[in-house]
Amino acid sequence: MSETADAHDAPTSTGIDHKKLIMWLFLASDCMFFGTLISTHLLYRKLYPSGFTDAEGHQRFIQNLFNIELTSFSTFILLMSSFLMALAVSAMHKGEIKSFRRNVLGVIFFGLIFLGCQVFEFTHFYHQGLTIQNSVLGSTFYVLTGTHGTHVAIGVLWLILMYFYSFTGKLGGHMGALDVEVAGLYWHFVDIVWIIIFTAVYLVEYLGPNGFWGTGLPAVTK
Amino acid sequence: MFSRFFSRVGLLAAPFLALIMAGCSKADMTVRQSTLDPKGPVAKVQYDVFMDTVWLVVVLFILVGGLLVYAVIKFRARPGDEDAPRIEEGHGNPLVEIGLITASIGALVIIAIPTLSAIWYDDDVPAESVPTSKLSAWYPRLEGAKENYAKVVEEQVLEIDVIGKQWWFRFEYPQLGLTNDAKRSVPNEFVIPKGKAVRINLRSEDVIHSFWIPKLAGKVDLMPGRKNHMWIQGDEVGHYYGQCAEFCGDSHAYMLFRVEVVEPAEFAKWVQKQKTDAGEVVAGTKAEKGKALFAAKTCVMCHNISGHYGAGAFAPDLTHVASRKSLAGAWLDNRDPKAQLAKEQQTQNTESSVEVDKAVLKANLIKWIGSSGVATGADGKPTKDVKPGNRMHFYKMFNVAGLTETQQKFTADELDCLAEYLLTLK
Amino acid sequence: MSHDSHHDPVACKTELAPERSDLGLIRPDRTTGWTDWLTTVDHKKIGILYGAFAMFYFLVGGVEALAIRTQLARPDNDFITARMYNQLFTMHGTTMIFLGVMPLSAAFFNFLVPLQIGARDVAFPRLNAFSLWTFVFGAFVLNASWLFEFAHLAGWLNSFDWHKALVYTDFAPANGWFSYAPLSGTFGQNGQALRFTGVGTDFWIIGIQVLGIASLAASFNFICTIINMRAKGMTMMRLPVFTWMTLITAILIILAFPAITVALIELMFDRAFGANFFNPSAGGQPVLWQHLFWIFGHPEVYILVLPAMGIVSEILPTFSGKALFGYPIIVFSGAVIGFLGFAVWSHHMFTTGLGPVPTAAFSLLTMAIAVPTGVKIFNWLGTIWGGRVRFTPPMVLSLGFIWMFMCGGFSGVMHSSAPADSQQQDSYFVIAHFHYVLLGGVLLGLMAGLYFWFPKIFGRMPNAPIAYLASGMVILGFNLAFGPMHYLGLAGMPRRTHTYHAGNGWETWNYVATIGAYILGAGVFLAFANLAWTAFKGKKCSSDPWGGRTLEWSLPSPVPEYNFAQAPIVATRDAYFEDRHGGKRIAYENDGGEAGVHMPSQSWMPLVASTGFLFAGFGMPMMAMGVPHAGWIVITGLGVLILGIWLWAVEGPGGYMLKTPAAAGSPAPAETVAH
C-alpha cells in the first residue's frame, strides 16, 4: 500500500486500480455483447446450413467464398499484435518510453493490416454475391465481423492517440503505465474474441466432409 | 393520529381484496371470454392448474399476510418506548430460514407436478376426442391414455389452418377442401363439431398474432416463419368468442373472431353449404347493380365470391358473407344487440346466440365499407374509420382500369346497391 | 507523483485561482448556478439531478397512463384514436421503466452509495456526469418523437416533400415497449426493407440504445466504487443492504444490456440497411428478437426491483428499532435472484410455441425464483417481529411495498405455471401482476426511500400529514386501479387493445380501475409536490431525524461536498447505530482537516461528449424520415462525441485540496477496529 496522499493513487479496497477494474467490467459486458452476436450467427447457420443465393440465383456455399489462407494470415497478424502490445505494456512499466513507442507503433501497424484484410475480404465477398441484404447469412456474417472490426478500429485509434500523447511527456509514471495496461487489456480481449470468431465462423465450416452444418460443399471446390 | 390511522392502511388491503372476490358473482365468471368457464378439455386442464395455483396462493396469502398484519399490530411502538432500553441486535435464525426455504420449495412442488403434466397435455393433439368427464385433473397422461397419444395420426384429427393477417383471421379446412386455393376459405368465423378434437395449425402472413378462445383453450402465437399448433375441443354447443392476443399494429383491438361448436350433423351441413356457389342475383334489382359495381370499383381484385367473381385471393372471401354473424374481423356484430342480450339472459348462457339481423347487417356493411376510404359520405368526406389502417384503404393500388378517384369510390347510392348485393350472399 | 495539479488546501473552491486543465482551458469552478449543475462531478448533485429528471418523467408517464385509463373507462370509447393509444402505451411503458424507475434508482445509487461505504465520491466522477447527461439526452431523443407526432397531427409537416413521401406517419413509437419484430422490423426480399411502422420505431431504437449506454457507464462506475472504495473495515459482509443491492443491480445491468444492445443493432440494420435478422420473408426469425429482448428484459425486471428491495431493507430495521433479520440470507437471496434472473426469460414466451421441453424447464425455473423472493419477505417479517414499529411515512410506504409486492409475487407464481399462463399471457391479469410488482412494489419502495432520505439530502423534513395522505391515496388508488384488472384478465380482456365492446362483462371494473388510476395519479402528484416543496421550504431537521443505522446518518444534513471530513473506519455492520448505542464502533483516519481532502475538478467534457448522442440521436430518425441533409446531423453528433471523449481524456482529472472542519474531538483510530 502506497503512502501517498494523492486520492488517485489512494489504495483501493481490493488493491486493483480503478481503471483496471472498470476495464475488466467493460470486458465482461463486451463478452455478453459478442456472445450474443456469435450466438445469432451460429443459430442461423444451424437453421439455414445451405449458404445463400446470389444475385444470379445460384446457390452458393460459404466455403466457396472463404479465403482461409488470407484469414489465417490476418489472424496470425492480430495474434502477433497482441504480443507486441504485451511488450509495450512491459516497456511502459519499466519506464522505457522509446521501447513503448516502437512496440505500440507495431501494434498499430498490425492492427491496420488486419483491418485492411477485412476490408479486402468484405469487398471480395460482396463481389462474390454475399450481401447484407440478400440472405440471413450475409446479415449475421457482416454484422458480426464488422462489429469486431469496429472494435479493432477503436483500439487502433486509441493507440494512435496514445502514441502521439506520449510525446507530450504526460504519459508517464504509474498512471501512464496503468493507462497503457488498460489499453492492452482491451487489445488482448479484442484479439481473443477474434480467435473465437475465427473458430466459430470460419474454421468450423471445414469440419467434416460436407462442412460442419451438414450440407455445405467440401472446401476444395472453389 | 395520522400514524394510527395509516397503520391500518395495510389492514384495509385484505378485506378490500376479499370484497373484490365476493363481488365476482357467477354471472361474472361466465362472461363471453371468461377463462374461468372452460367448455373443453384443454381449457379445463388449464383452469384446473390455475385453480391449483390459486388455492396455494390463498393459503400462503392468509399465512404470510396474517403474520404481517399480526406483527405490525403486536409490535407497534408504544408511548414510553423512547426510554426503554434498545432491543438486542439479532441477525437471524438459521433454523427458521432453512425451514421456510424448504417449505417454499415444497409448496412449489405442489403446483409443479400438475403444471408439467398439463404442458404435455396441451401440446399433444389426441388421436381421438377426449371426454371431459374422464379427465383426471392432474394426471391426464397417466390414465391409460398414453398409447392414445403415442399413435397421433394426424389424418384422424380434424385439422384447421388458421392464417393471421392484419387484422383478421382466415380459416381453412384442408381435409375437407375448404381452402383459399379452392376459393372456399372462411374468414372471421369458423365451425367445429362438438366433442371432436381439432388440430389448429397456426400460420401468419405478416406480423405476430395470437389465437385465443378463452373458453376452449389458452393462446398460442401465430409466428411468421414458424409452424405452431394447438388443439381445441368444444364440449358444449354454442357460439364462442375469441380475440387476437398479441399486439399486431394499429387495429389490434379490432382483430376478433368467433367459433361455433355444433352437433356433428350440423357440421356436415355447414361444410356442404360452404361448398356451394353464390346464387343468381335477381335482374333489375339494386342487388344486380351492386354486383356490377363490385367488379367496376375493383373490389373484385382482392375479394372472392365463388360463382360470381373468382379473381381475389387476398382479402376475406365473401361468398357467404350474409350468413356470418359478424363483419370486419368480427368487430361489427350482425345480430340484433337487444335480442342477443335478452337471449343471453334468458338462457343464462353467453354462448347462446340469435341469428343474423338483416337490418343490422346492412347497416354494418354500409358503415364498414363506407368508412374504409373507398366511399364518400353524404357530405363528400370519408366517414370515421371503423378499423384504421385496414387494407381497403389501399384500394388505389388495384386500380388497373385507370379509373379516376371519383370513379373508383362509392357514392352513398352505390354503396346502398353494393350492400343489397352482399345481403344476397347467404 | 502523478500529473495532477495540486494546490494548497482551500476552504472553498471559489478561492482557487482560475485553474487551467492540461488543455490550457479554464476549468469550471462554480459552486452554484447553471455552470455548477451542468459541470458538476459531485455524486450528490448528480444524484439530485437524476432524481429530478426521474420524477419529471414519472409524471409524464403518469399522464400517459391516465390518458390510457380515460380511453378505457367506457366501452367503445373514442377519446383517443387507436394509433394514439398504441403510442401512449408504448411510451408509458418505456418512460416508466427507462426514464422513471431506473433513473430514480440511479439517483439513490449516486447519492447514497459513496456515503454508505464511507467514500468521498464515486470511482470515476466525470464518467458519472457523462452517465447522467447521456441519460438526459437519451430521454430527450425518445420524447422528441412526441414533438414530431404532434407537429404531424397539427399539420405543420404537411408542406414538406419528405413528409409527403412517407408511407407510415406514426412519429411516436407504436410498437410496444417490447417492440416485437416483425411489427417493429421489416418484411420483403432482397433488402426491400418494407415496414409495418414508421419512424417512431427508429426514435425508440436510438433512444433505448443511448439510454443503455448511460446505464452501462453508470454501472461500471458503481461496481468499481463499491468494490474498490469501501472505508477501512467495511468488508463486503458489512456493506449496507442497499449498497449490496446496488452492486447486484449494476452487475445485472452490465451483463443484461449487451443483449438488448445487439438486438437493437440488428433491428436497426434490418430497418436502415435491409438486413434480414428478423425479416420473416427472407428467413429471419422473429422469435430471435423475443429471445434477445427477454434475455435483457427479464433481468431488467430485477434491475428495477432490487434497488427498491434494498431501500426497504434499510427502512424496516430503522423503524423497527432492530437489526435486519438474516442479513446474509437477504444478501445471498438477492444474488440468487440476480443469477436466476438470467435463466427465466422464456417465461415471457410460453405462447410462442417453444415446445413442451423448454416450456417445462422455464416453468420450473420460474417457480424456483419465487423461493429467494419469498425468503426476502420472510426476513422483512422477521425484522418487524419483536421490534417497536414506528409508523413514519417511509415505514408506511415500506409496509405497503411488502404487501403489494407479495400480492404481485403471488400472481407471478400463477404465471409460472405455463398452462395457466397460456390463459393469462397478454391479458389484463398480466398487467395487474406486473403493476403490483413494479408500482405497488418498486414505486412504493422508491417513494419510501425519497421520504426516508430527503431529510439527509436537503436537511429538511417533508410535511408528515401530507405524506400520510399521499401514501394513503397511492395505496388505495393503486389497489382500486389494478386489483380489478386481475378479474378483467381472467374475464378474457387482452392487453394493448384500445377499446372493447359492451357486452363482454368488462365495463364495470374498467370504470372502477379508471377511478382508481385518477386517485393514484393525484396521490403520486401530491407526494412529489410535497417533496418538491420540502426541498426548498421544508422545516429544517437534525442530521439524524429517524435514528438511522448506516454511515450517511453520521454526516451533517445537507451533506458537505467532501462527505467525510475524515475518512471513517468501521468495526461492524450498522456501525453508526452501534456506535451511538454502545461501544465505539467508528474511528476516523488521520486525514482531512488543514491538510485538506482531495476533490475532483468540475468539467464540461462529459456534457460535451453526451451532446454528441443528442445530435446523433435526433439525426438518425430524421434520416429514416428522409429529411434532407439529416445525415450531417448524425456525423456532427458522432464527431462531437469523439471530440468530447478526446478532450476529456487529455484535459486530465485535475483536482484540488479542500480544507475540512478541524478534527476536533475526533478520536484516534481505536483498537477495536477489526480489519
Give the tens place of pLDDT for each residue, C481-515.
999 999 999 999 999 999 999 888 899 999 999 99
Is B258 in the same domain as B293? no
With an 8 Å Cβ cutoff, are B218 and C368 in contact? Answer: no
What string of DSSP letters covers B392-417? GGGGGGG-TT---HHHHSBPHHHHHH
The percent of residues above 90 in pLDDT, for chain C, comes to 76
Topology of domain A76-210 in CATH is Four Helix Bundle (Hemerythrin (Met), subunit A) (1.20.120)
CATH number of the domain at B258, please. 2.60.40.420
Average pLDDT, chain A: 88
Q: How far apart are CA B160 and CA B203, in angstroms?
A: 11
Residue-wise DSSP of B102-118: HHHHHHHHHHHHHHHHH
Contacts of A161 in chain C (CB under 8 A): 646, 649
Tell which wins on pLDDT, A141 or B149: A141
Contacts of A201 by beta carbon, 8 Å cutoff, 6+ apart: A38, A41, A141, A144, A145
Residue B143: its pLDDT value, please?
A: 41
Which of A130-134, B247-251, C2-6, C283-287 is the least confident region? C2-6
Q: How confident is the model at residue B128 (pLDDT cuts 50, 70, 90)?
A: low
Q: C100: closest CA among C134, C144, C50?
A: C50
Quickly state the pLDDT bin for B15 (edges 50, 70, 90).
low
Q: What's the number of domains chain B is made of?
A: 3
C491 and B47 within 8 Å at the Cβ level: the answer is: no
Cβ pair C619, C601 in contact under 8 A = no
Q: Which one of C1, C227, C598 has the shortest CB-CB distance to A7?
A: C598
| CB B298 within 8 Å of CB B403 | yes
**Is the same domain home to B358 and B401?**
yes
Query: Do the strands B256-262 and B189-193 form a parallel or antiparallel pair, or are they unpaired?
Result: parallel
* C515 shares contact with chain B (CB less than 8 Å): no
Contact: B2, C468; criterion CB under 8 Å = yes
For residue C224, give the nearest of A189, A32, A183, A16 by alpha carbon. A16
Residue type for A144, please? L
Distance CA A16, CA C660 (A): 28
Q: Determine the pLDDT at residue C469.
A: 95
C400 Cβ neighbours under 8 A, 6+ residues apart: B9, B10, C440, C444, C448, C471, C474, C475
Nearest CA in chain C to B252: C497
Closest chain B C-alpha to C585 CA, distance in angstroms: 15
B9, B223, B249 ranked by CB distance to C472: nearest: B9
The pLDDT confidence band at residue C256, using thresholds 50, 70 and 90, is very high
Cis preceding-peptide flag for C403 (omega within 30 of 0)? no
Residue appearing with cell numbers 418506548: B81
Out of C4, C257, C595, the one facing A8 most closely (by C-beta) is C4
Asked if C387 is an interface residue toward chain B (Cβ–Cβ < 8 A), one would say: yes
Give the pLDDT band of residue B23 (cuts 50, 70, 90): low
Q: Do B343 and B378 reside in the same domain of the chain?
A: yes
Q: Which of B92, B373, B118 is nearest to C378 (CA)?
A: B92
Q: What is the pLDDT of residue B25?
A: 65
Contact C180 B96 (CB under 8 A): no
Q: Summarize the confidence of residues B221-237 as an average pLDDT.
A: 91
CB contact under 8 A, A22 and C230: no
Judged against a pLDDT cut of 70, whether residue B136 lies above it is answered with no
Task: Judge contact between B277 and B306, C-beta under 8 A.
Answer: yes
Amino acid C2: pLDDT: 38
Total residues belonging to chain A: 222
The answer to whether residue C20 scores a pLDDT higher than 60 is yes
In this prediction, residue C600 has a pLDDT band, given cuts at 50, 70 and 90, of confident
B146 within domain boundaries: no
Q: What is the pLDDT of residues B349-388, one digit of tens each?
A: 889 999 999 999 999 999 898 888 777 765 656 667 888 8
User: Is B376 domain-assigned?
Assistant: yes
* SS (HEC) of chain A: CCCCCCHHHCCCCCCCCHHHHHHHHHHHHHHHHHHHHHHHHHHHHHHCCCCEECCCCCEECHHHHCCHHHHHHHHHHHHHHHHHHHHHHHHHHHCCHHHHHHHHHHHHHHHHHHHHHHHHHHHHHHHCCCCCCCCHHHHHHHHHHHHHHHHHHHHHHHHHHHHHHHHHCCCCHHHHHHHHHHHHHHHHHHHHHHHHHHHHHHHHHHCCCCCCCCCCCCCCCC
Supply the pLDDT for residue B146: 37
Do B239 and B290 lie in a common domain? no
Q: What is the pLDDT of residue B357?
A: 92
C7, closest residue in chain A (CA to CA) = A6
Burial of B370 by CB count in 10 Å (0-12 exposed, 13-18 middle, 19+ buried)?
A: buried
Per-residue pLDDT band at B12 (split at 50, 70, 90): low
Q: Are B387 and B292 within one domain? A: yes
Percentage above 70 pLDDT, chain B: 84
Q: Is the pLDDT of residue C275 over 70?
A: yes
Residue type, position B421, single letter: Y
| Percentage of chain B exceeding pLDDT 90 | 45
**Bridge partner residues of B192 (DSSP):** B261
Distance CA C177, CA C90 (A): 5
Instruction: Quickly state the pLDDT bin for C635 (edges 50, 70, 90).
Output: very high
- In this prediction, residue B18 carries a pLDDT of 60
Give chains near A: 3+ CB pairs under 8 A.
C
Question: Which residue in B101, B229, B388 is closest to C82 by CB distance?
Answer: B388
Could B75 and C327 be called an inter-chain contact, meaning their C-beta atoms sit closer than 8 Å? no
Are B261 and B321 in a shared domain?
no
Asked if C259 and A32 come within 8 Å (Cβ–Cβ), the reply is yes
What distance in Å separates residue C229's CA from the closest CA in chain A?
Answer: 6
- Stronger pLDDT, C567 or A189, i.e. the higher one: A189
**Could you state, in order of their start, the residue ranges of all structural domains in chain A?**
76-210
Is the CB of residue C640 less than 8 Å from the CB of residue C612?
yes
Q: What is the mean pLDDT of residues B181-204?
A: 91
- Contact (CB<8Å) A165/C650: yes
The neighbour count for residue C543, using CB atoms within 10 Å, is: 16
**Are residues B110 and B6 part of one domain?**
yes
- Which grid coordinates are listed for A209? 466432409
Please give the pLDDT value at position C613.
Answer: 96
Q: Which pLDDT does position C204 carry in this prediction?
A: 96
List pLDDT tens digits, range C281-332: 988 999 999 999 999 999 999 999 999 999 999 999 999 988 999 899 999 9
For residues C394 and A58, which has the higher predicted lDDT (pLDDT)? C394
Nearest CA in chain A to C597: A7
Q: Are residues B316 and B418 in the same domain?
A: yes
Q: Taking residues C387-398, what's their average pLDDT?
A: 94
pLDDT at B392: 86
Q: Mean per-residue pLDDT for C22-49?
A: 85
**Which residues of chain B neighbour C411 with C-beta distances below 8 Å?**
57
A111 reaches C (C-beta below 8 A):
no
Which residue, among C130, C95, C93, has the nearest Cα to C110 in the 3D structure? C130
Residue B84 lies in a domain: no
Q: Which residues in C lie closer than 8 A to residue B166 (C-beta atoms)?
A: 196
pLDDT above 70 as % of chain C? 96
Cβ–Cβ gap C389/B75 under 8 Å: yes
Find chains touching chain C: ≥3 CB pairs under 8 Å. Answer: A, B
pLDDT at A6 > cutoff 70: no
| B167 and B270, same domain (yes or no) | yes
The count of CB pairs under 8 A between chains B and C is 344
What secondary structure does DSSP assign to C613-634, as a single string? HHHHHHHHHHHHHT-TTHHHHH
Q: With an 8 Å Cβ cutoff, are A140 and C652 in contact?
A: no
Q: How far is residue C188's CA from residue A76's CA, in Å, rounded to a whole number?
A: 40
Contact C47, C108 (CB under 8 A): yes
Binding-face residues of C in 558-597 toward B, CB within 8 A: 574, 578, 581-582
In this structure, which amino acid lies at residue C296?
F
Mean pLDDT of C377-396: 93
CB contact under 8 A, C1 and A4: yes
pLDDT of residue C355: 87
**β-bridge partners, B222:** B209
pLDDT, residue C663, reads: 53
Q: Which segments of B24-150 does DSSP mark as H helices, in order? A: 26-29, 41-60, 66-74, 94-123, 146-150
Residues C41 and C121: beta-carbon distance below 8 Å: yes
8 Å CB contact between C657 and C671: no
User: A9-18, B241-250, C244-253, C279-288: which range is least confident on average?
Assistant: A9-18
What mean pLDDT do residues B191-212 have?
A: 92
Please tell me the predicted confidence (pLDDT) of residue B388: 85
How many Cα atoms sit within 13 Å of C267 on the Cβ side? Answer: 33
Instruction: State whether B72 and C329 contact (CB < 8 Å).
Output: no
User: In the predicted model, what is the mean pLDDT of chain C?
Assistant: 91
For residues B151 and B72, the model is more confident at: B72
**Confidence check: pLDDT of A27 > 90:** yes
Q: Which three cell numbers stand for residue C643?
A: 471530440
Q: Are residues B385 and B416 in the same domain?
A: yes
Mean residue pLDDT across chain B: 83
B327 belongs to a structural domain? yes
Is the pLDDT score of A13 beyond 50? yes
With CB atoms and an 8 Å threshold, state whether A26 touches C220: yes
pLDDT for B83: 74
What pLDDT, on the 0 to 100 scale, is given for residue B16? Answer: 60
Nearest CA in chain C to B32: C504
Residues B210 and B261 placed together within one structural domain of the fold: yes
How is residue C48 written as a grid cell?
Answer: 439530485
Pairwise CB contact (< 8 Å): A133 & C191:
yes
Residue range C541-567: mean pLDDT, rounded:
91
Which range among A211-220, B128-137, C151-160 shows the weakest confidence by mean pLDDT?
Answer: B128-137
- Write the residue in A6, A35, A170 that is nearest to C598 by C-beta: A6
User: In the beta sheet, which residues pair with residue B375?
Assistant: B410
* pLDDT interval class at A187 (50, 70, 90): very high
Considering only CB atoms, C426 lies closest to which of B28, B67, B219, namely B219
Which tens digit of pLDDT belongs to each residue from B287-304? Answer: 999 999 998 888 888 999
pLDDT at A209 over 80: no
Domain span at B325: 286-423
**Interface pTM (ipTM) of the complex?**
0.92
User: Which residues make Cβ contacts (< 8 Å) with residue B329, sequence separation at least 6?
Assistant: B167, B168, B169, B188, B251, B254, B255, B256, B257, B387
